[in-house]
Amino acid sequence: MKRTIFGNQGLPWLLLAPQLAVTLVFFLWPAGQAVRQSFLREDAFGLKTSFIGLENYAALFRDPQYLNSMQVTAVFSLAVAALSLGLALLLALALDRMLGSARIYTTLLVWPYAVAPVVAGIMWWFIFNPTIGIMPHMLRALGYDWNHGLDGSDAMVLVVIAASWKQISYNFLFFVAGLQAIPASLREAAAIDGAGPVRRFLTITLPLLSPTTFFLLVVNITYTLFDTFPVIHATTEGGPAQATNILVYKVFNDGFLGLNLGSSAAQSVILMAIVIALTVIQFRWIERRVEY
Amino acid sequence: MLRTMTVSSLALMTSLSAAEARTELHWWHAMGGELGTKLEEIVAGYNASQEEFTVIPSFKGTYPETMTAAIAAFRAHEQPAIVQVFEVGTGTMMAAKGAIYPVYQLMADMGEPFDPSAFLPAVVGYYTDTEGNMLSMPFNSSTPILYYNKDVFEKAGLDRDTPPQTWADVEAFGQKIMESGAAPCGFTTGWISWVQLENLSAWHNQPIGTLENGFGGLETELTVNGPVQVRHWENLKKWQDSGLFQYGGPGGGNDAPPKFYAQDCAIYMNSSASRAGVVANAKDFEVGYGMLPYYDDVEGAPQNSIIGGATLWVLQGRDEAEYKGVADFFSYLSSPEVQADWHQFSGYLPITQAAWDLSKEQGFYDANPGADVSIRQMTLNPPTENSKGLRFGNYVQIRTIIDEEFQALLSGGKDAQTALDDVVSRGNALLREFEAANR
């Protein structure tokens, strides 16, 4: 292969400079601030600051509420990722078999993605509101007393549905594109060999979809860890009794409402570490099993 | 032509210099909707009443949002001169010694005549330090009272003019209301933390925390797991199970008012400042007013209720000229006419004796029966160290803890004793943290 070699060492840096500047200002600098703040104890007004080392971190891991928040986040992330990926794949498969009306369905299914998370949250809050919502009304008719204001599992179901609903559109779009990239001849050949639809799906479609699935898994986990903040804020505000208080919401709650900046900074550093670790794991271990 | 130009430019110059001569000062507040409009009206009245200062009010969202916005602005040296802070933030503000300009000191420094004894002790006590100095300017203070549906009471065979006085009454009336089918629920309430724990404690003369409910120092500890509080929370759980009580949600309890307006619940406890909303929404029934219920076998009950709402804090770091304006504006705000007008419009308490007297003189309480329940309840007895208010750091978070533990109680996860014990232990951890950060 012929390699192009640039004589000027400055040019690549110059071309990279805008991107590097953006990363520096909007990512590295704030992240550095968070790390610094996480070693400090400070009153709300910033009048008295003292260095306390790792005390903020130690306090977090002694705090049962924080450990609970970790657990809640794990349940929430897995449930949202599983539900939105699973449903999106089902819808995409159904659409793949359609001929005439596929375009209309695609358009309709993509719409929810255009809805802002906070609007989606408020909408689901209305639908499931125990006093005025339609769902609790219907569930009551079926003999189930829905009350996400008091029942932690109800609240978790609500935020999982609200957070997944939006993400399904996004996942769906990628699955449709992924499915279209699979040559029809492969599936036809398998069909001629006598493989049923389930077998064709498991041995041909799924492996060939794995790059898409892998990509979506990474995106979805990041989405559930960070972007679901507005959904929680608009529906349960982390309640009842912290049953839906995911890590990113707790960062906001303790930092912006509780004004405990040291602890909040320590939490965001931990959250950052979790996301970095998850991404590394996904790329090192799962990507190996992906067939491009 | 030339002359007219000269004259008009001269006029322009004088008007400009007149505008420049006015010192501008900013007031960040959390009054939305009708209250916000009324507040702007008051400010416009002040700006028109004198030539020297212009107060510029800015709406900054909810109480916590306004407070955190002001604190963030202080850190960035962009703070307003005046910020409205809710009573829960009092402990945090008081501890920030270098950030706040105590009102008593401001008034003295600026040579503004100021008489702290003109204010109602039950109101200012909350915002006064242990040496008796007023640290912030009361503006909108309220206290929880009881509202009830007179028509439902009559339908249930109760006297329409007798509100329940004790918790035993609430239970008996509620049962009668439910059995007769007059309404599906006995009572609901806003603010579990403020009404059914803090005020419950003060109303029964029970301590909320050690060291005079935190007035005595940062080493204070919560004591809300006493027998009266436990008994009350046990009852609330029992009544919720039987349907007599319906939970209105955490914080202010957003689901509570609709339950009362829709005549689902016959009795409703909430801030006296909810009165305007109640009157506006109770279209199909007549509303009665009463004091908070009490347990008549508890010695010292009823004592007096404590306030909520917000006060105006002055922040350090502005020009002297602005502080002169602040002092002048505060005098205007606490004048009887302005106070009486604000009180009558909003349902907030009149903060001075003069404003209360003026409202009486104007015949406001005769024309609006029930509007003085709040003030009578506040001043029922001289406040004790258990009932003059509370002062805890990190209290915004502790309020949340109270809501969480109450939810755990209602959902059956904990009994009342455990829930309140956990309020105390979790709250104390936050108090120790606050102590460490402000030592």
CA A80, CA A227: separation in Å to the nearest integer?
12
Kind of pairing between the strands at B53-59 and B265-271 = unpaired
Place of tokens 């179901």: A157
**Model pLDDT, residue B361:** 93
pLDDT at residue A3 tops 80:
no
The string of pLDDT tens digits covering residues B19-76 is 557 899 999 999 987 889 999 999 999 999 999 999 999 999 888 889 989 998 998 8
Domain ranges within chain B, ordered by starting residue = 20-142+307-367, 144-305+392-438
Contact criterion met (CB < 8 Å) for A240 and B64: no
The string of pLDDT tens digits covering residues A245-260 is 999 999 998 888 778 8
**Model pLDDT, residue B292:** 97
Domain B20-142+307-367 falls under CATH 1.10.1040.10: no
**Model pLDDT, residue B4:** 47
pLDDT at residue B310 tops 70:
yes
CB B79 within 8 A of CB B48: no
- Structural domains of chain A, ranges and CATH numbers in brackets: 50-289 (1.10.3720.10)
Region B172-181: mean pLDDT is 95
CA B250, CA B45: separation in Å to the nearest integer?
37
CA angle B418, B291, B166 (to 5 degrees): 60
CB < 8 Å to B250, chain A: 149, 237, 239-240
Strand partners, B270: B145
Q: Read off the pLDDT band of A221 (50, 70, 90).
A: confident
User: Pick from B191, B182, B433, B8: which is nearest to A56 by CA?
Assistant: B433
Going by the DSSP 8-state scheme, the letter that residue A182 receives in this structure is: S
Of the candidates A45, A241, A260, the beta carbon closest to that of B407 is on A241
Average pLDDT, chain B: 90
In A, minimum Cα distance to B97 occurs at A47
CB A72 within 8 A of CB A159: no
**Model pLDDT, residue B107:** 93
Q: Could you tell me which residue, B389 or A97, shows the higher pLDDT?
A: B389
pLDDT at residue B166 tops 90:
yes
Region B320-330: mean pLDDT is 93
CB atoms within 10 A of CB A277: 10
- A176-181 — which CB contacts under 8 Å span 24+ positions? A176/A92, A176/A95, A176/A96, A176/A106, A177/A212, A178/A92, A178/A208, A178/A209, A178/A211, A178/A212, A178/A213, A179/A92, A179/A93, A179/A96, A179/A205, A179/A209, A180/A96, A181/A208
High-pLDDT (> 90) share of chain B, %? 65
Average pLDDT, chain A: 86
Strand partners, B101: none
Region A83-103: mean pLDDT is 84
pLDDT at residue B132 tops 80:
yes
A41 touches chain B (CB under 8 A): yes
**Model pLDDT, residue B201:** 96
Q: Residue B254 CA to chain centroid, in angstroms?
A: 16
User: Pick from A261, A47, A258: which is nearest to B79 by CA?
Assistant: A47
CB B189 within 8 A of CB B269: yes
CA A125, CA A239: separation in Å to the nearest integer?
13
User: Pick from B212, B230, B229: which is nearest to B221 by CA?
Assistant: B212
User: Pick from B88, B74, B128: which is nearest to B402 by CA?
Assistant: B88
Fold category of B144-305+392-438 in CATH: D-Maltodextrin-Binding Protein; domain 2 (3.40.190)
Rg of chain B, C-alpha, whole Å: 23
pLDDT at residue B294 tops 90:
yes
ipTM of the complex: 0.74
User: Pick from B25, B28, B40: which is nearest to B345 by CA?
Assistant: B40
CB A44 within 8 A of CB B96: yes
CB atoms within 10 A of CB A20: 12
Interface test with A, best of B261, B433, B435, B439 (most A CBs within 10 A): B433
Q: Read off the pLDDT band of A2 (50, 70, 90).
A: low
CA B372, CA B438: separation in Å to the nearest integer?
40
In B, minimum Cα distance to A65 occurs at B426
Contact criterion met (CB < 8 Å) for B75 and A132: no
Place of tokens 């509303």: B287
Q: How many CA atoms lie within 13 A of B268 on its CB side?
A: 33
The string of pLDDT tens digits covering residues B373-396 is 998 998 899 888 899 889 898 898
Q: Residue A216 CA to chain centroid, in angstroms?
A: 10
Query: DSSP letter string over B270-294?
Result: EEGGGHHHHHHH--SS-EEEEPPPB
A64 touches chain B (CB under 8 A): no
Q: Read off the pLDDT band of B105 (50, 70, 90).
A: very high
Q: Read off the pLDDT band of B2 (50, 70, 90).
A: very low
Which helix (H) or strand (E) element contains residue B55? strand B53-59
Q: Indicate if B144-305+392-438 has the same CATH topology as B20-142+307-367.
A: yes
pLDDT at residue B229 tops 60:
yes
3-state DSSP assignment of residue A214: helix
Q: Read off the pLDDT band of B219 (50, 70, 90).
A: very high
The string of pLDDT tens digits covering residues A146-203 is 888 888 888 999 999 989 988 899 999 899 888 888 888 888 888 898 888 888 888 8
b/e map B403-434, b = 16+ CB within 10 Å: bbbbbbbbbeebebbebbbbbbebbbbbbebb
CA B201, CA B213: separation in Å to the nearest integer?
11
The string of pLDDT tens digits covering residues A105-120 is 888 888 888 888 888 8
What's this model's pTM, rounded to 2 decimal places?
Answer: 0.83
**Model pLDDT, residue B398:** 92
**Model pLDDT, residue A99:** 62
Place of tokens 């590097």: A20
The string of pLDDT tens digits covering residues A273-288 is 988 888 888 888 777 7
Which chain A residues in 233-262 lie under 8 Å from chain B, judged by CB atoms?
237, 239-242, 253-254, 256-260
Of the candidates B71, B407, B433, the beta carbon closest to that of A239 is on B407
pLDDT at residue A34 tops 50:
yes
Token readout for B388 is 């003059």
User: Pick from A275, A227, A259, A277: which is nearest to A80 by CA?
Assistant: A227
pLDDT at residue A135 tops 80:
yes
Contact criterion met (CB < 8 Å) for B250 and A237: yes
Q: What are phi and psi of B26, to 5 degrees?
A: -100, 140
**Model pLDDT, residue B15:** 46
pLDDT at residue B326 tops 90:
yes
CB < 8 Å to A149, chain B: 247, 249-250, 255, 407
Q: Could you tell me which residue, A54 or A289, shows the higher pLDDT?
A: A54
Rg of chain A, C-alpha, whole Å: 23
